[in-house]
Structure formats: structure tokens, C-alpha cells
Structure 1
Amino acid sequence: MNRKHDFVLPALLAGVLAACSGGSTPDTAAASSPSLQPASSGPAATTSSTPAGSWTSVKWGGGGYVTGLIYHPTSANVMYARTDIGGAYRWNNSNGSWTPITDGPGFGGGESEFHGVESIALDPSNDQLVYLVTGMYTVDGGGNPQNGRIYASSNRGASWTHYDLPFPVGGNEDARAIGERLQLDPTNPSTMFYASRTAGLWKSTNSGQTWTQAALSSTVLTGAQIKVIGSVKGVEQIMFDNSNVGGGAATRNIYAAVAPDYAQAAGLGSTLYKSQDGGSSWTPVPVPSSVSGYYVPHMVRTSDGYFYVVFNKTAGQGAGGPGYLYKFGGTSFGESWTQLAATTTGGYGGVSVYGSGAMARIALAVTGTWTSTSPVVQLSDNGGGSWREIAGGMQHGGAGYWGWVDDIEIDPANRDHIMHITGGGVWETWNASSATPSWDAPVNNLEETATQALVTPPAGAAYTLVNSAGDIGTWVQTDVTAHPTRGPTSAWSNGNAADMAWSDPSYIVGSGVLNSSSTAFGFWSGDSGNTWSNFAVLPNGAAANQAAASSIVATARGQVIWAPANSVPSYSTDNGASWTPTNLPALPAVGWDRGYRLVVDRKNPAKVYAYDSAGVPWNNTAGKVYVSTDGGHNFTLSQGSVSAKLAPNAYWTTSMAINPKVEGDIWLADGNAVYHSTDSGANWAKVGNFATVAASGSTGQLQGASVIALGKALGGSSYQAAVYVVGAMNGVWGVYHSDDGGASWARYNDDAHQFGGIGVMAADWNTYGRIYLSGTGRGLLYTN
């Protein structure tokens, strides 16, 4: 089961439409201050040039897959968390919260791919140095291998320098908690190795600036081979057989674990190898017959020279067993193996050891159990001689307890402090020695949800926004500082779209998919989200087309139009008891999910607008807008949209918004440019000088204009709404705003607040200057 592979695409491709390339060209990330020039000639500029003062996360709390926790071995409380799509975080012990460290330069539009962190490494002799290896997928949308990046920071992630890697990285692929794949030589940290998924083992002797393939294997899998194998696990990790920390000669004795999939493809006869010359040559190491052909998700080395190695028959998030824990002697002890634990209930994910020898405390993560009452953490205080359960059946506070217990860490400075990851965040206990340890979720400011659609109500409504997100579903947010409680279901689901009747915002409609059964459903609330009901039936196309390239709108209570992905929209006049197809044309398949984007004229809800973005950039058919004057039942093609020659683009790189203060006042972002119509879509004028910037090196294409939103106007402004656009102007990507109807523009974010790219955005109608937007796997953020 591989969460987020589907719904991360809109946020990712909003900035990235080009594959990563190889090479080792350095790119030092530094903040820039672009000139805020008017975008077009016209009246005197009235747009405020003041950017957003601050950015704050809308409260959810966790919500996504933390794939690894990394402690510094000697500096207390220096800890990092990596996530599959939401970047990386540093723990702030002073206030018990997480600090996002990948929101700024090097993680903006066109670089969303690098918000997936596959591995983190810390310099054991300098606790300021941190390295990230990033990249979400080993192949691009066309099946071609795409290479990752390594980021280096000398100030705990406050700023970064990055280098392109010559091999692919899969931070959001199967078995992404394996690790850590990046390892620094403990006696010479400028030497590092990377255990790659598809290209063997790699070595750098200059802190990641350049890389050479180590001699373990020269096999580099092609895109076609990767497709046949699936999500390749590759070389899983390495272990240095050296206990010293600090400067000195490079470690000579090294072990490398190799996943069965890559071993078979590369013609390797074992899943464990050793080098006694610093990686120049390798020989196979026999493993116990009980784990022959098994995966090695985690392994650690203790100060006495022993290794603790987890073997599991399968690999992936919440992988089932059998699983085994072995103690391995290494070169110092004749490479002996001793079995310490085994399981057939779930599998083994992670292992952590405090101390050594017969008195070692060992924490063992049992994964794939899926309930808080099944065994999830086994603890031994006698080196593996006996075990007791410390999590299953114990009290777990918070929300979102998933079965992916795939990494576990004992705090090097406090043996009673144990943390483990899940698919919904992080859990910890501070009293592991207790017979009944208590657990809580330390996820303050760790926000890793993926919003797919976002809508804000008119001023004065009883709620702030409606958030439709992957995995967590749809929620009505009444307080951005508190976890929401109003939703149609608490089950694991994808929220695809939502809307409200503007004249009656207590009536809310939405669509989504129950992930456990892959069942599409539509829902409504008549009391601002306090209670919910499902639509009695689904419209044509909704059951089979469950992708997020869909839209749903309400013209009045009980009056709904639903556009499922890849489908002709249908309307209901009886609150979903029945549906009738509209006359909109069918959408030809283009290889990607596509759909009609619907908006209701808030001033005159008899008018509904439908935008077909053409689905893909290479589609020879331009984008089109259709107009209905009978509440979304019948539509007519806007010839003005045809004349405008709207660029063909993907659903998730385009947007349409309405000014609720004026009838027929529509804004559209076609992925490349911004268009404005003041006559209900009859005519369209290009506004501003937004323009797409082509991909360059490892940086993806920057969409000229991908998201547009309108909100409360600046007092005294010449236009009745503030307009916000995510796009590129004068070659600089960001969020731009206009207070004068597009006559002038100013950048609204800065390089420190790019959030790995922006997928969706909405503006507030109560407060001028407040916008809500989704970063790539960063949940929702808002301006103050």
C-alpha cells in the first residue's frame, strides 16, 4: 500500500514538468529580492508592495508519513525528521515543536520533486552539519530515470547548498523508510556513501559535491527495467565497522545490504557484502538460511563492535513478516550470527540500541499491525534475552495512528525516551521503563498533509475554509489554530473537491473516495459541517473516475453540479437523489487524468462556468471555457475563450476563480498566463506579464500562472477584490498579488517561503491580505 503516489501529483507538477538531469553542478541557495515592477501599462499602480508579514501552518498535527528520525550521536536534543513528500524538520527542544527546514531557497516552484527526502545524515564531529538526499521518484512521468539532489547545510538547515546527483532517488516510493541510505564515514565524515535504489552503491570524498560508483556493482537499471521490477529497493544501506568518531583515516571495513530485487537484476549472489579496502572491492557475506532473500530495513552498530540487523521477508510501508532480528559479530567477531527475536504477526521495521552487550536496551518496531492494540514496540533490557511489549494496548493520545511503525529510535541522551514513526506522524514515550508506558504524539508544527482542493466562504460564515485533502479527507475548519472536527467521515479517505452555496454558506457539498474500499462518495451538510449525509446516488463517471482532477459546486441548497475526473459533468436538483448529465462534450483520453473545472457566479448563481484545460501541455487542442445561464444544466462554448488561444495544460497547473462582488467577473490561469473576463466569459483579456520559464538543469519548468484566488479588497482600492496568482513573473516564481484588478502586481511571498511548490490557494473574504495555500506535503499555510 503506497500512500500519496496519486494525490501528490497536483502539488508536484504545479511546478515540475521536466525530469531531473544528472551532473554535479553546485547551486548555492541564496535569498533574492526581485524588483517589483508593474506587469503592464495602465492606471497608476495602487497595489501594496508589502509582502506577507508571516506564514503559519493551519493546524492538523502530523497527518503524513514520517519516514525516518535521525538523532545526532553525541549532541543532546539535536534531531531531524524526514518525510516522503513534505521535506524535512528539525526538532526544537526549547518549545517542543518542529521547525520546517525545507521551505526556502532550493525548494520552490520547479523544485517540488526535491521535497521528498529519502535520507538524512549528520556529521558526528560537527552537529551543525546536516545532509539531505532528495527526490520523490526514480522515474518521471514518461518512465525515464530522473536523478536526485543532495543538500548540505552548515547551520542545521537554516540555509542550503545543493548538488545534482548522478543517480535517481525515490523518497516517495515503496519501502521509503529503509535507511539510512546516506552514511558518513565516522572517522572521515567528508567521505560518504549512498545506497541507491537503481544504480548501485555510490561514494563521495568531498562531502557530496561529486560522486563515483563504488565497485559493488556497475549495474544501472533502465527505465524499462524499473517499470518491470516496480518500486526498486536497490542497495539498502551500509555499515562502517569502526567505532571511532572524529577526523582521521577513512574506514576500511564496510558492509553493504542489498535488496533481493537489485541483487537479482545485477547478478549478485548475496544480499550482504563486505569491503576491507574502503569500498574498492567487495565479497559476499553468508547470512543465516532463515533470512536468505530477505530485505534489511534497518541496522545499527553499538560501541562494542556488534551490529543489530533487522531482516524482513517483504519490504514497504507496514510490511508483513516473517521478521527476524539478528546480532552480527562483524570482522572483529568472526562474522557470527545470533538470532534475538522473530515475528509472524506483522513484520519488523526498525531497531535501536542503547548501550551494549548483555545489558543493552533494544527497541524493536513491529510494523503492519494496523491497530493500536496489536504489538507495535518490543523492548529488551538484557541484550535481547527477553522481550516485553511497551506500546500495544497502552494509551496512545492524539489522532491518526497508522500501522506503519517502520523506524524507531532510543534517544541517545535518555534511554527512557523512545520515539517511533507512523504513517500519521510520530509517537513517543518518556517512561519506557514503566510497566505501562504512556505515549503521545509530538507533532506540533509538523504538518504533512496534501490538500487537493480548497474553498473559502463569504464573510461572516460560521467557518473559515473547507479543506479537501489526500488520505485525511474533507474537513471544515472553524479555527485555524485547532485540529478540525467537522468532516463527513473520519475514515482514511481522499477529499477531492468541495463548495458551498454563496448565499447560504451553511450548505456545503463535497466529493471523495474511501480508500479502504476504493469507493467514491459525495456528501453534503446543511449546518456548516456539524452533520453530514451522503448523496443517495452517484452521477455518471464518479464511481469509476476517482482522481482528484474533479470539481463540485453548489448554486443553491440542493442544487449541485458534479464533474468527476475524465467525465461529463452532471447536475442534481434534488440534493443528489438523482443526476442528469449536462450537455458538455466528453473529454478524450490524453494519458493523464483531466476534468472540467467548475465555478458558480456568486452574484448570479444561474451562471456557471466550466473550464477544460485540454489535459496535457502537448495536447494540440487549446483550453476552452463553457458558460451556462440555467444553473449549470446546459452550457455554450465561449468563442472568446477560443479566440484567446488558452494554452493546453494539466488540470492541476490551471485554475479559475470568480469575483463574488460583480456578476460575470472571471479570472483564469491557463498554466502559462492570466486572463480576465468582465462579461461572463464572452471575451478574455490577458493580464500581466506572467510567463512560463523552461526547465534548466535539474530545476523543473516554472509554470507562468498555475493558481489564482480572489479575496477581500484593500480598503480604497479601485477593484473590489484582491487578486493572488501563483506563477512566474520576470523569470521569478512566487505568489503575486494585485489590488487594482491586474494593472499592477507585487510579489507576496519571498524566497524563504516557497514550501516546495504551491498546489492550491484560496483567499479570505473577512481579512484583507490573508491567503491559504498548500505547500508540497506541507499541509495548509496562511498569512498573517
Structure 2
Amino acid sequence: MRRLLVSIGAALIGNCGGAWGFDDLTAAYRWDPLKIGGSAWVTGMVSHPTTPDLRIARTDTGGFYRWEADQGTWRQLATADRFPDVSGWVSGTGVESVALAASAPDTLYVAMRDAIYRSDNRGDSFTRLNATIPMEPNSQLIRSDGERLAVDPRNPDIALFGSRDRGLWRTENGADWSALSTAVIPSGEPGAGIPVVKFDPNSPALGGRTSTAYVAVRGGGVYATYDAMGTWSKLSGVPGGPLDSATPTDAEVHPNGDLYLTYNNSGINDAGVWRYRPGAGWGVAESDWQQLNTIPWKNHNAIAIDPTNPNRMFTATDGLQETFFSENGGASWRQLSFEPSSPTIPWAQQTLIDWVSSGEYYFDPHVPGRLWMAEGVGVWYSDLTPAELDDDRMTFNYQSEGIEEMVPLDIVAPPGGAVISFGWDRTGFRHENPDTYTATQVFPDRFSAGWDGAYRPGTPTYLVTTSADDLPFSGYRNNAGYSTDGGVTWQPFASLAAGTHPDDLKFGAIAAAKADAAHPNSLVWLPADSTRPYFSTDGGATWSRAAGWPVEPPGSDSAGQPISSGLWFRYFRFQGLVADPHQAGAYWLTVKNRGLWRSEDGGDSWQIVSDTLPNWGHHATLLADPSSADRLWYANGDQESPSDYHGLFVSNDSGLTFTEIPGTEHALDVALGAAAPGSDSLTVYLLGIVQGQQGLFRSLDDGANWDFLVHYPMGIFDAPLLIEASPDRFGEVYVGFSGTGFAIGRLATTAGDYNLDGTVTQTDYQTWREQYGQLGTPSADGNRDGRVDVADYTVWRDAFGAPSGANAPAVPEPASAWLAAIAWLAAARRPRRNQADGGGVYDSTCVNVNR
């Protein structure tokens, strides 16, 4: 029997063995992105001036990417194998700034995780440098401004970094960093600091260095050096103008030495584009500031100058509300209209509407007239063709293959249906085929967050979500609704359309109960305001507060008042409300510090079942086991301190008592998936810590033993927050990171083993017959093209050794096909089986067949 060994030294051998005292299945799994293609803010992007297609894009939450031109995709660089100082999950991998060295194409600097890193192989590996500086790449305050990092165009070992609170930093040997005195250059407004640092590559060389550089300080003016950082001086300028304003956002230096800066409005119409023109040559104090004619009362966040034709410039107001193009160096501007084009990632075609959270614009140094834009869902480019410019218009083309930056909030895997992911900004996506960019949006015309999602037990095509904006200026618009066709289409709840929806029923968690005649369309919604839940008997047309909700006991400060639900903040990922899959109209709920509660009348009245659960966590998960009416699973979720960690809890008596499973030390999340072949027990997946090892685990025997699946899915060290598992396909599990989207883990099965039993037999042919024509990720899709077809029969045939040509079975429509196959199956060779080098015989799912 396979055991969870106490001795760490008792290592198993082979692909199914490990050194932590449990089976190590890392080699048995393959990990891929649950493909969306962008979906969150790419806050900046840089290109190398002399090396075509060398581009780096940074994000506010999801690492940074290098464009791989030969593959037509972006590659994530924030992976554990590239950062040797990473020893565990990191909550948030947003990037403060990036910079390429013009004189050394392989050299790249990146500011993230309160540190500055250097790579000399284009991001294949990084060295942490000796600079520890507070950073906030996901700050609401100017996260898309800059770049803050800049490398001397003539010397890759000389670089500058403008921090948010610690002033200007510099290195002169590419490794050792030090801060310049704030008496020379002020640190700027706290939290914003120095957002713009720029070298002038056309300024004279001085001792192998670039002589001129500029630094724009928020609330402190603009500073320049003309002697290769020997001295710095504040530029004189217009009183009350940009030098005294608090809002520089971007800068470019024209080949003639003019400095162009963009500003946000500080209240005196000082926004827009400003040009600083030095006097007769570099180093002359006298200068000329001019506010160029765009819209001076609107915020501008970037400026682009075409290096192939410096008279061509582009800028825009916040949100891309107005776009401006100049062909005479900014002397005059004209507005351009724009439209999106995204044939390869169709959902993005519905973006760039109303408001565009643009991050950076720049002209491609190698493709004349091509303008790049990094913005709130991904990366775009526009080829400013003469024909389009004649019509005062432009087309932005989406190029975000490989970028996965959704901030996950939930994921739902309905039996027999497509996976639905939920997250910030785009509500969610339906993934008919997770390996292609065919995801469709939940409520595609809304900028919103999908705080929670659920399907109705027994009717998994019915789905609900508590979608709502997290934007104060929109009034936190409520976009919640439902789908009756497995997420293909969505409708808002009728109460929203009728204007009768309760004002405080927003955000939070939702569940849909199993239906019967008495409860045909029952819903329960727990809003994020600490109050008791609402329930609906008509699918969301009307809502009522739960009347039978327990109250505080006599003698307490709030005696007689309804007990607080504990869900007081909308950012909590709370999964403690679930429908009972075995009883219509029944729900389970965990309540902060008050244990487990239950309702059996559709959510109107609630009873306290037990108080044996640990204190409720911010991201607690409760699961009602669909295979056992008495079994519940509980993970306490994320905790601020390891002293508050709890393992995985299970109840086998309908919640009267819970037992913490030995060996589980921290349960971040738990999921139930399809049983292993030949087993009646659902597979239990645990995200957290087991016997001191951090990672994702699975158990095939209700938590008695554990297998280790992975520490860093896809190599990403961004902390995973949630998991879900396929109820249809054994071994398939989904992971949601803090800010880098979702990953899907699948067993790297033997070719042709379509029933996942570790062997290739005639039974797999029957599985292929049964799944023929199915789309998505069925087990018989042997060539992983998203469809079970004749090509997958060929995969099985080659693995089994079946004849081809005239003797091959027909496509499974004629009844004779299966009968014809029997004749040659009898003489076929014996099935294949995987075998580990030790510790017993394992099938292709790494289940020990000898235990």
C-alpha cells in the first residue's frame, strides 16, 4: 500500500516517486495556460532600437513578457527557473519598470518585488542586484507612467531608476546601486515619486557615457544632467506651468534634442504635451517651454515620436478618449478615430470601447509608421497607412497571444459543460476549448468583475454570477445574472432590469439550489456587507432577506440583532456558500467565528449545525461532496500569519463534527474531481502545504494519502489562490494565480489510452467511438486539436498496433464498425503499461496498481 511516509529520506524512484514522503507526479503532468489572451493591464512596453522584434511588455499584476517572433507569441519571463532568489510562491508579480540596453541587446533590467534584476541573456535568467526599494506596480497611482528605469544608450552598466519614495537611484557598474541625495533631486510626491527617466541618445558622448539625461519628478519639477550625471540642475521654466505641476506621465527626446513631456491636469489647465527646447546646444540654461495645442485641461499619459520620421508624433488623452497625430513635430495636431481588429482572439474585438486604460505608445524603430500600444487588456499595434490617415482614422490590431494576466476570482467546471473562469475587469470567460484562443466573454459589453460563480446541481447548464463593477464613478454598477445554456449566453437578473433589485445586494457569494417542484428556481446570495443573505424563489426576479436568521444572544453588545455574516469586504474570495447537491432547496454556509449553518427552505431560515470549524478565513472554501450526502470539505483559505494556518477539514456526519486531516498544514483551497479509473471515490485536490511541502496535491482515498502534483504550475511563481477540478476527466485540474490568469493541468497520458486506465486496449477504441464528434478536451482527443475525429482513431491505432487501410474500422456510425473491429482485436498485441523503476507498478495516471 502506498504510504504518506514520515521520513523525508524515504524517497520513491521514477516518474511516480518523490523525496517528500509522498508520490511525486510532477513528471506525469503537463501544464498549459487556460487560454484567454491578455484581459488585464499591460502597463508598459519597450523595444530595442537596433534589434528587430526584441520587445518586452510589463504588467501591473502578471509578470513580464518577451516577444518570440518565430513562434508568434509572448513568453512569460517571471518564472521560478529564471529567478534563483525565489523560494516559494510570491503574491503578485507585477513589474514596476523594464529597460533594454541599446548598446547590448542581450542586457535587460527589470524592477519588481522591491528589487532590481539584471539579465544578460534577454531574460532567460536574472541576477538580483543590491538594491532594495519599495515598489507598487499595481498602485492606482501612476502605474502606467514612465519608464522609471533607463539604461545609458552607450554603456549597459550605467542605469537610473526613479523610485516612488526613495528618490533617484543609479548604478555605474551594472550591479551596485546607490541613491542620489534628495537635496540634489527631490523624492517627489509620496507613492508616485519619479515616474519618468530618459536618456538623450543623440547627445554628445562623454568618457564613453551619454551626457544628457532627464528626470521628471511628481511635484518637484524636471531635472537634467549634461555631464553624464556629474551634476544635475532643475530646469527653469514657466511659473505655474509644468515645472511646478505634480503630474508628469511620459517623455520622449527628439533627435534634435527637444524634450517632449506629457502631463495630467493639476487644476490649472497644464495638461497635454509640453516641449522643452534647450538653448544653443546642450548645457545652456536658457530654454523655451511651449504647451502644444492638444487639449490642455485633459490628462495625457504618453507621447510617441517616430524614429523613422521624427516629425510624426502621437499622443492621446486618458482612456483614449481623444487621439492626436502630428506630422510637423507637434506644431499642429489632428484627431484620429480608431477601431479594434482581433481576428485571432475574437473576444478582444469587443474591447477598446468607451474607455481604454492605455499604458504606453511608441513607434516601432524597425517598421516605419507602426505604432504600438500597451493597454488595459493587452498589446495592440496600428500601421498608420496613408489611406487610413487620409480618412483621419486608424486600426488597432491585437497581438496578445501568450499573455495571460487575468486576476482570478473563481472558476466553475459544470459536469458535461465548458469551464467558466471569473476574474477582475472582464467578468469571466467560457472555455469551450482551453487550448485555443476561442474563449467567449461573460457579459461581453461590460467592464466588470466576476466575484463569484456557481452552477445548479442536477442542472449544470444553469449558471449564476455576482458580477459588479469595482469603480466608484460608475456607482459600482451591478452586472449580476444567469445563463441557462452552460454559459453561452447570459442575462441580467430580472430584478435589475425591472429596477427592483435591492441596493445593498451586490458583490459577495451566490449559489443555486438543486431543483424540485417545491424549489424550481431557488437562489441564495450573500452580499459583501456583513449582513444576512437574500434569497429568491424565482431565479432572481425578486429577492427577500432571510427572515429566519439567528440573532446575537442576550447580554451581548448587539443582543437581538442579526448575527454578522462576516463577509464585510468585497475583495474577499469567499466560497463558503454552497448548494447541497443531494437535497433540493438546501444550502450550506460558513459564518465567521460561528461555524457551519444550513438552510433547507431555499434560504429563508437558517440553523447553526456546529461551531467546530476554525475561525473563518478571507478566502474560505466549503464543498458539499456530490458522491456522499454526509461529507463536507473545508479549507480555511489564505491567512496573514502562518500561525493561523489550518489544514484540510472533512466531515462525514453532515457537518456535526469536522476532523483536520493529518499531514495537511495549510489548506488554501480544495476541489473535487472525477474519480480515478476503477474507483468510487472522487479525487480530492488540495492547494497549500502538506508535510512542509508547498504545492498542489491530490488524494485518491479521501485524504488518507497524498500525491504531489506541482509547486510552480507552468514554472510561474505567482502565488496560486484557487483551484477547481474537472468532474468529467480524471486528473484534470485548474489553478488560478494571483495575477497571471489560469493554468490547466492534465495527465501526460500514454498515446491512445482514452479511458485513462494506463493501458491501450480495445476499450479505448470504444471510448473513441462514444466520444466521436465531441469538442473541447475529451479524453479521446488524441492529437489535442479540440475535436474527436478520425485522426484520433489513428493515434489509438498506432499505439495499439491495429491494421490500417481496408482492414481499419470505419468511422463509428454503421453498427458493423465495432463488429468488424473484433476480428482483428483478438489477434492484436498485448496492451502497453507504464512501469516505474521502483516502488511498484504504476499505470499512466501514476496510480500504484500493486497497492
TM-score by length of 2: 0.72
After TM superposition, the structure 1 = structure 2 runs for residues 170-209 of structure 1, keeping only pairs within 5 Å, are: 170-173=136-139, 174-209=141-176
Alignment-derived partner of residue 28 in structure 1 = none
Q: Does 1:741 align with 2:702?
A: yes
Amino acid at match of 2:46: I
Give the aligned partner of residue 61 of structure 1: 37
**What is aligned with 1:97?**
73
Partner SS state of residue 398, structure 2: coil
Is residue 573 from structure 1 mapped to residue 532 from structure 2 by the alignment?
no
CA–CA separation in structure 1 for the residues paired with 2:206 and 2:93? 32
Deviations 1:643-666 (A, max 9, x none): x5x2553x22x3222322221222
C-alpha distance in structure 2 between counterparts of 1:82 and 1:709, whole Å: 32
Contact 2:306 2:369 in 1 (8 A): no
Whole-angstrom CA distance in 1 between matches of 2:650 and 2:717: 28
Q: 1:563 to 1:592 in 2, by over 3 A?
A: closer
In structure 2, which of residues 397, 400, 417 is the aligned counterpart of residue 443 of structure 1?
A: 400
Write the mapping of 1:555-704 to structure 2, written as runs, cut at 5 A. Answer: 555-556=514-515, 557-565=520-528, 566-576=530-540, 577-581=542-546, 582-583=548-549, 586-587=563-564, 597-605=576-584, 607-612=586-591, 614=592, 621=593, 624-639=595-610, 641-642=611-612, 646-649=614-617, 651-652=618-619, 654-671=620-637, 672=645, 673-691=647-665, 704=666
Q: Secondary structure at the match of 1:332?
A: coil
CA deviation profile, 1:262-298 (whole Å, cap 9, x unmatched): x3xxxxxxx0123456546532211345434333211
Which residue of 1 is the match for residue 49 of structure 2? 73
C-alpha change, 1:257 and 1:50, in structure 2 (3 Å) is closer
Question: Does structure 2 conserve the Cα–Cα contact (< 8 Å) formed by 1:186 and 1:245?
Answer: no
Residue 127 of structure 1: aligned partner: 105
Residues 95-244 of structure 1 aligned to structure 2 (within 5 Å): 95-105=71-81, 112-135=90-113, 148-163=114-129, 165-173=131-139, 174-216=141-183, 226=190, 232-241=191-200, 243=202
SS at 2:543 equivalent? coil
With over 3 angstroms needed to count, the CA separation of the structure-2 counterparts of 1:101 and 1:542, relative to structure 1, is: farther
CA 1:216–1:303: 2 relative to 1, 3 Å: farther
Code of the residue aligned with 2:294 in structure 1: it is T
Contact 1:447 1:779 in 2 (8 A): yes
Cα distance, 1:395 vs structure 2: 5.8
Deviations 1:215-239 (A, max 9, x none): 5558779xxx95xxxxx32122223
Q: Compared with structure 1, are the counterparts of its residues 84 and 324 closer, same or farther at alpha carbon in structure 2 (3 Å cutoff)? A: same
- Tell me the distance in 1 between the aligned counterparts of 2:380 and 2:623: 40
CA contact (8 A) 2:164 2:194 kept: yes
Structure 1 residues 464, 532: closer, same or farther in 2, change over 3 A? closer
Secondary structure in 2 aligned to 1:129?
A: strand
Go from structure 1 to structure 2 and tell me whether the alpha carbon gap of 1:50 and 1:258 turns closer, same or farther (over 3 Å shift): closer
Residue 16 (structure 1) aligns with: none
Distance 1:377 1:403, change over 3 A: farther
Please state whether the residue corresponding to 2:36 is helix, strand or coil.
coil
Change (3 A) 1:478 1:90: same
Partner residue, 1:543 = 503
Percent identical across equivalent pairs? Answer: 24
Distance in 2 (alpha carbons) for counterparts of 1:483 and 1:504: 25
Q: 1:388: Cα distance to partner?
A: 4.5
Does structure 1 residue 455 correspond to structure 2 residue 412? yes
Could you tell me how far apart the structure 1 residues matched to 2:729 and 2:305 are?
Answer: 52
Output one character per residue of 1:512-536: Cα deviation in whole Å (capped at 9) or x when no partner. 2145331335322333334444334
Name whichever of 534-543 and 594-603 sits farther off.
534-543
Aligned partner of residue 497 in structure 1, secondary structure: strand
Instruction: Kindly indicate whether residue 650 of structure 2 is the aligned counterpart of residue 716 of structure 1.
Output: no
CA shift for structure 1 position 764: 0.8
8 A contact 2:117–2:129 mirrored in 1: yes
Letter in 2 for 1:742: G
More displaced 10-residue stretch of structure 1: 404-413 or 77-86: 404-413
Aligned partner (choices 431, 437, 441) of residue 477 of structure 1: 431
Distance of aligned partners of 1:241 and 1:50 in 2 relative to their CA distance in 1, 3 Å threshold: closer
Task: After TM superposition, give the deviation of residue 366 of structure 1 in Å.
Answer: 0.3
CA offsets per residue over residues 39-88 of structure 1, 9 Å max, x none?
A: 6xxxxxxx673456332223333221111111112211100111111111
Deviation at 1:156, TM superposition (A): 2.4
Structure-2 residue corresponding to 1:554: 513
1:407 is the counterpart of 2:360: yes
Relative distance call for 1:705 and 1:234 in structure 2 (3 A) is: same
The CA distance in 2 between the partners of 1:253 and 1:521, in whole Å, is 51
Structure 1 residues 544 and 103, CA gap change in structure 2 (3 angstroms) = farther
What is the Cα deviation at residue 478 of structure 1?
Answer: 3.0
Distance 1:471 1:769 in 2: 30
Which residue identity does 1:518 align to in structure 2?
A: Y
- Structure 1 residues 244 and 278: CA distance shift in structure 2, 3 A: closer
Contact 1:763 1:770 in 2 (8 A): yes
For the pair 1:82 / 2:58, whether they are aligned, the reply is: yes
| TM-score (normalizing by structure 1) | 0.78
- Which secondary structure does the structure 1 equivalent of 2:282 belong to? helix
Q: Secondary structure, in 3 states, of the residue corresponding to 1:115? A: coil
> Aligned AA for 1:166?
T
In structure 2, relative to structure 1, the CA distance for the partners of 1:239 and 1:49 (3 Å cut) is closer
Taking the aligned partners of 1:306 and 1:759, their CA distance within structure 2 comes to 48
SS of the equivalent of 1:334 reads coil
Equivalence for 2:315: 365
Instruction: Tell me how far apart the structure 1 counterparts of residues 421 and 699 of structure 2 sit (CA, whole Å).
Output: 25
Q: Which position in structure 2 is the counterpart of 1:286?
A: 236
Given the superposition, is the C-alpha separation of residues 61 and 365 from structure 1 closer, same or farther in structure 2, using an over 3 Å criterion?
A: farther
Question: Aligned partners of 2:606 and 2:28: how far apart in 1?
Answer: 39
Contact 1:601 1:664 (8 Å CA) reproduced? no
Q: d(CA) in 2 for partners of 1:293 and 1:479? A: 54
Kindly tell me: are residues 687 and 162 of structure 1, through their superposed partners in 2, closer, same or farther at Cα, counting changes over 3 Å? farther
* Separation in structure 1 between the aligned mates of residue 615 and residue 661 of structure 2, nearest angstrom: 14
Structure 1 residue 606 displacement after superposition? 5.1
Cα contact 1:109–1:756 (8 A) shared by 2? no
| Range that drifts further, 239-248 or 624-633 | 239-248
Q: CA deviation at 1:489?
A: 5.5
Q: Point out where structure 2 has 5 or more consecutive residues left out of the alignment.
A: 1-15, 343-348, 551-561, 638-644, 747-851
Change (3 A) 1:321 1:583: farther
Structure 1's unaligned 5+ residue stretches are 1-32, 40-46, 136-147, 227-231, 264-270, 615-620, 692-703
Q: Secondary structure at the match of 2:195?
A: strand
* Shift of residue 553, structure 1, vs aligned partner: 3.5
Shift of residue 370, structure 1, vs aligned partner: 4.9
SS of residue paired to 2:664:
coil
Identify the residue that residue 498 of structure 1 maps to in structure 2: 453
Distance 1:164 1:745 in 2: 40
Instruction: Measure, in 1, the Cα distance between the counterparts of 2:739 and 2:282.
Output: 44
Paired with 2:607 and 2:53, the residues of 1 have a C-alpha distance of: 62
CA displacement 1:403-446 (0-9 Å, x = unmatched): 23341111111122211122222221234444445431111122
User: Which of 304, 309, 329 in structure 1 is aligned with 2:278?
Assistant: 329
CA contact (8 A) 2:164 2:187 kept: no
The SS at the match of 1:54 is strand
| Amino acid paired to 1:679 | D
The 5 A counterparts of 1:250-329 are 250-251=209-210, 253-260=212-219, 263=220, 271-276=221-226, 278-279=228-229, 281-289=231-239, 290-294=241-245, 295-314=247-266, 322-329=271-278
| Pair 293,541 (structure 1): closer, same or farther in 2 beyond 3 Å | farther
After superposition, the Cα gap between the structure-2 partners of 1:79 and 1:490, relative to the gap in structure 1 and judged at 3 Å, is same
Aligned residues: CA RMSD: 3.5
Q: Given the superposition, is the C-alpha separation of residues 433 and 92 from structure 1 closer, same or farther in structure 2, using an over 3 Å criterion?
A: farther
Gap change, CA 1:370 and 1:194, over 3 Å in 2: closer
- Deviation by residue 1:144-167 (Cα, 9 ceiling, x = unmatched): xxxx12233333223333357433
Count of equivalent residues: 676
Question: Does residue 383 in structure 1 map to residue 383 in structure 2?
Answer: no
